[in-house]
Structure 1
C-alpha cells in the first residue's frame, strides 16, 4: 500500500506547474513529462559539455575533479565515477532512503532506464507494472497504479489495499474508486480482486468468471476502457486503457490469466507536441499493446520515441544535422544521441547499436571519452568496451594509468 499520509515530492519549478507532480530527477531525463516539454529544453547543452583534462565526465554531462574518481565515494549524481557493485553495496542500493534524510539520498540521480521513488531510490522502468517486491520502492511509491497486482489471493480481501483510486493510491473501499457515471471501472476492479467492499454496490460475485460476465454487461459498447478516469499518469501523451476484448474469457481463470486481467491492455497516443521541430498530433487511434512495450527488450521507456517515430520525424533531428561533431544518429531506429554516450555501457539507441557495433562507430568516438573506456577480450572483437564503472571486484587500482592487461581488459585509448 502507498501510505495515505505520504505526500509525493514535487519539484518546485521556475514557473508554476499544475499538470503533474515532478521529481527533480524528471528534469532532463529524456522524457516529456509536461505537454510543452519545457523542462527538456536546452538539455542538449549537457550532452555536449566537455570536461577539462583533470576532470572526469559523469554520464549526465557534469564534471568532477579526477582526484575524486574511484575513491570509494560517489561524486557523480549517477554514481558512474565508482565501481558499480561496490558503490551499490556501500549505499545499500539506496533502499533505506525512505526512512532517513541524507545528502547521498537527496543527490542520487535516477538514470533514463530507471524510475525515481522520489527519495533517492530507483527501480527498473520495465518493472513498473510487475509484481516485483525486491525491485520496488521501499516507500511503496512504486505501488501507485498497480494495487491489485500485489493482492494475496489466499488471504481475506477485507483489509487488503488492492483497489485503485483515481490518483493511483491503494484503498480497501470500492467507494473510493472514481467512476465516469457508470459502474464499468468499479466492476473491473471488483472482478479482478473480488474485494469484500464491492458488496456495497452489489458487485461482489462468488467466482471471477461470474464477475467477468457483469463486466461485459457494464462496459458493453466500449472498445477501450480508461484504466484511470480522466488522468494520464504515465505521460501527457499516452492514454492507458483496458481493451473490452481482454475480458472475453470462456475458460476457467487461473492465476496467470488473472494477472493479465489486472493489467491494462493498450497504450494509445493522444495530443499534440513538437517532434524535432515538427508539430505532430495523435487522436488516440494508434495504440500499442502492453506486451509490445513491457515485454520487449527496450532499454528505457520508448513512449516519446514511438509518438514521434510513427511520423518519421527522427529523420529531421536538428541535433544530428547541425552538430555532427557531438551527435550521431542511431541506425536504423533514427534517434539522435551524444557521441559521449557511445560504448559507455548503457544503451541509448533502442536497438543497442551504440554499444554493439564497434567497427561502424569507432571513428565517431570522441577522443576525450577514450580515457575512460576499456576493451575486454581480444582487440579484434567488435563488442566488449566498458567504462571503469563496470569493472570487476579484483581490478588492480594501479592499472588505471598503465593500461596493462588486467582480467583481459585494456584502456581503449591504448589500442585505438
Structure 2
C-alpha cells in the first residue's frame, strides 16, 4: 500500500521522502540507511541525539536507558534504578506450559528453540543464548529484536539493541550511536569540574591523569592530546612518577572511562610510596555503605565517609571487565530474612547476592564467586528445575537451549530421533522437553555423517564406525562431505565449489587439499597427510572425522583450543576463538561496513547472507565460500532429519533463523532517498529507532 503525501486528522504530517509511491517499509529503510557514521562532536554538541527514560530521574552520569532499570547494576548515586521491587523478576515463576527466560520473563514453551527470538535477553535460542554476533548492526537495521533486546551483566546498553564492554577501547566495541562517548565525556567533565566529595586537584595533576587515556582527552579538548607526553604506553617512566608525586595530593578521587558505576562507586588514588609501583591505577574503590549494607569484601572508611576496598583485594579476581559490575551487583539485593525464607531464591553466600533458583547451572555467571555455576549436586536434585535438562548418567544440568550438541558428558542430550531444523521437528520438541523418544537410535542413522551414539557403544564401535566399508557408486553426486577419511573423494571433482577453490584459487594438484596454516598462509596438503590424526590446518579442516565438523555440524569450525563455532562467526570482526583463529583466515576482511562481507581485499562488498550460500560471489578467488564445506553433510538414502509432528504446526518456509533475518534486511534494496536539502544526516539519529516526520502549520 502506497502512502499519501500528507496524513493525520488534519493532514498535518508527512514523511521526509521524495517518492509519493513509497510504502511505509520504504520509508523505514530509507531513514535507517541515512544513518551515516557519527563523529564524536556530533553527539557532544547535541546530547538530544541520545534518548532518555523519563520515568526515573536521579543523579547519574547520563540519563538512563529503560534497559538500565532493574538490570542488577546500580547507575544512580542512591540506587534509585534498583528499587526493592526488582526482586520480583527473580521470584517470578512461569506456568507448566511456559519457559522461563534468564531475565524472569515467561514465554510459551512452544516458542523455545523455534528459530525466532522471544526472550528479551535472547536466552530462548541456541544461536543467541551466549552471544549475538550481529548486534552492532542494530543501529542501521529496523529489527524488532533490536528494540527489545536486554544487555547482560557487565555490558553497557547503547539504547538500540547493541551492548558493549564499556571499558574496552577496541574500535569494534564502541556504540555505533556513540552513547558511550556521552558517558565518558560526562565522567571526565565531572572530574574537570571537581567532585563535591573530593578535594579539587590542581590543573597539573588533572592533566596528567587525563593524558593516561589519549582517547578520553580527545572528547574534551582535541588540542590537549598534542600536549600529552605521558600516555598508556609511557606511563611507567620514572619521570612521570616524579611529576605525579609533585603535583597530585596525597589522596584524591578521580574518574576515568572505566568507572562505569560512578557516581555509586568512585575511584580513589593515593600519592604515597606504598602505591608508587602502579601510581596510575586507583588504589581503592569506594561506595556509600548506607546504599550497600552487605558487601562480600571488607573495606574501611577512608575519604568523605565512603567505605573503600583495596584494589589489590579484587584485581586478581577480576577475570573480565563485567566482573567488576558483577561484584557490586550484591548491593542491589541486600540480605533480609524475607528473602532468605523465599524458596524461589538462591543465596550466593560468598558473593552475598540473591538470585532466582532457575539461574543455577545455566552457563551464565550471576554471582561474583560463581556459586551459581558450581552447586552441590544433591542440592540441585531437590530444586525441581523444570527449565533445565538433566543428563541420564551424570549429575549435570543444562539450560535447554544449550543441549542437543553433546554438551552432556554422557551425550544423553543427543539421544533423540531426527534433527531440529524447523520448529515443528520432533527433535525440537525433545529439546523443549515436550517429547520423550521411545527409542534413541534407528538403523537409518548409520553412517549419515552425524555421530549419534557415543557413550552407549558396543566394542568401541558407534553408528559412524567403519563407514568407509559402505562404498558409494563411483558416479554418486559430490556433496562436499568427506566419505573417505582423507577426503580423496572430493578432490578433482568438476563443478564443485570445493574443487574450484582447491585447484583454481590455490593451485593445488589433484591429490592435494588447500590448508591454511597458523601464519595465515594457504598452502597445499597432500591427501596422504589428511585423516592421519595429526592436525595440520587451521579449523582442523584436514581431520574431519574427529573434529567439530563431524561432532557438531552446526558449529563446524574448530578453534585451536577445541572450541566449536558456527561458520557465520568467521571474518565478522569479532574474536570468537581465543587464539583469533576465526579472524586469522581473513586478515584483510575489515574494509567494508559491518555486517557486509569483504571481497578482493576490500574492492567489493557483499551482503553477509551471500557467505556460504553455494555461489561464488567473490570473483575470482571465492573467499565467500572458504571453509564452507565444513558444514557439508553426507547425502543419505534414508533420512530422518525431516521427521515432524503431524499435522504441521508451522510452515518451515515462514521460519528464519534470527541472524539470517537480520542479514536479509541488511541487503534489501532501497529506492527511496530522503531529501538531502531538508534532511541533516544527524537527524536520522534523532528519534533513535523511531521515524521522523515533518509537520505543517494549519
Equivalence for 1:185: 206
Distance 2:255 2:79 in 1: 24
Partner of 1:227: 255
* Correspondence for 2:356 among 335, 338, 341: 338
Q: Which residue of 2 aligns with 1:284?
A: 306
Q: Give 1:79 deviation, angstroms.
A: 0.9
Query: Displacement of 1:364 after TM fit?
Result: 4.1
Q: Does 1:23 align with 2:41?
A: no
Q: Hey, what's the Cα distance between the residues in 2 that align with 1:99 and 1:407?
A: 45
Q: Which whole-Å deviations, capped at 9, do the CAs of 1:32-56 have from their partners, x for residues lacking one?
A: 3224434322122222222222222
2:367 counterpart residue number: 349
- Structure 1 residue aligned with 2:340: 320
Query: Is the 8 Å Cα contact of residues 71 and 82 (structure 1) preserved in structure 2?
Result: yes
Is 1:51 matched with 2:75? no
Is this contact kept in 2: 1:239–1:270, CA < 8 A? no
1:137 aligns with: 175
Alpha-carbon deviations, 1:180-214, whole Å to 9, x = none? 462211133346659893499x8768986444433
Structure possessing the higher relative contact order (Cα contacts under 8 Å, 6 or more residues apart): 2
Per-residue deviation at 1:268?
1.8
Partner SS, residue 318 of structure 1: helix
Judge which range, 69-78 or 356-365, deviates more. Answer: 356-365
The answer to whether the 8 Å contact 1:105/1:121 transfers is: yes
Q: Which residue of 1 aligns with 2:161?
A: 120
Distance 1:191 1:393, change over 3 A: closer
65 and 342 in structure 1: CA distance in 2 versus 1, 3 angstrom threshold: same
**SS of the residue 1:75 aligns to:** coil
User: Which string of whole-angstrom CA distances, capped at 9 and with x for unpartnered residues, describes residues 146-187 of structure 1?
Assistant: xxxxxxxxxxxxxxxxxx755448xxxxxx955646221113
Partner of 1:105: 146
Corresponding position of 1:217: 246
Change (3 A) 1:269 1:177: closer
Distance 1:198 1:331, change over 3 A: closer
Q: Which has the larger radius of gyration?
A: 2
Q: How many Å separate the matches in 2 of 1:290 and 1:104?
A: 40
* Equivalent residue, structure 1, for 2:115: 72
Q: 1:241 aligns with which of 250, 256, 268?
A: 268
**What's the CA shift for 1:107?**
0.6
CA distance in 2: counterparts of 1:98 and 1:212, whole angstroms: 43
Greater percentage in strand:
1
1:77 CA drift (Å): 0.5
Match of 2:127 in 1: 84
Asked whether the equivalents of residues 118 and 124 of structure 2 are also in contact (C-alpha less than 8 Å), the reply is yes
* Contact 1:2-1:144 within 8 A present in 2 as well: no
Over 3 Å counting, the alpha-carbon distance change for 1:88 and 1:306 in structure 2 is closer
Alpha-carbon distance, 1:100 to partner: 3.7
Q: Unaligned stretches of 5+ in structure 1?
A: 146-163, 170-175, 251-259, 410-416
**In structure 2, distance between residues paired with 1:223 and 1:182:** 13
Matched with 1:379 is 393
How much does 1:105 deviate? 1.0
Displacement of 1:15 in angstroms is: 4.8
Aligned residues of 1:191 and 1:212 also touching (Cα < 8 A) = no
CA distance in 2, matches of 1:60, 1:86: 12
Q: Is the 8 A contact 1:83 1:390 kept in 2?
A: yes
Instruction: Give distance in 2, aligned partners of 1:350 and 1:87.
Output: 18
Matched, 1:95 2:136: yes
Q: 1:197 aligns with which of 179, 198, 223?
A: 223
Evaluate the alpha carbon distance shift between residue 262 and residue 5 of structure 1 in structure 2; reply closer, same or farther with a 3 A threshold.
Answer: farther
Q: Which runs of 5+ in 2 are unaligned?
A: 1-37, 195-199, 407-413, 421-425, 441-451, 456-698
Deviation, structure 1 residue 357: 2.5
Tell me what 2:402 maps to. Answer: 390
State the alpha-carbon separation in 2 of the partners of residues 32 and 235 from structure 1: 9
TM-score (norm 2): 0.43
Residue 109 of structure 1: how far off its partner (Å): 0.6
How far is 1:144 from its partner?
6.5
Q: Which sits farther off after the overlay, 53-62 or 391-400?
A: 391-400
Q: Residues 288-315 of structure 1, C-alpha deviation per residue, up to 9 Å, x if partnerless?
A: 3178258524774245356699xxx64x
Aligned residues: 353
The alignment partner of 2:285 has SS state of strand
Deviation at 1:358, TM superposition (A): 4.0
> Which whole-Å CA distance do the structure 1 matches of 2:332 and 2:95 have between them?
36
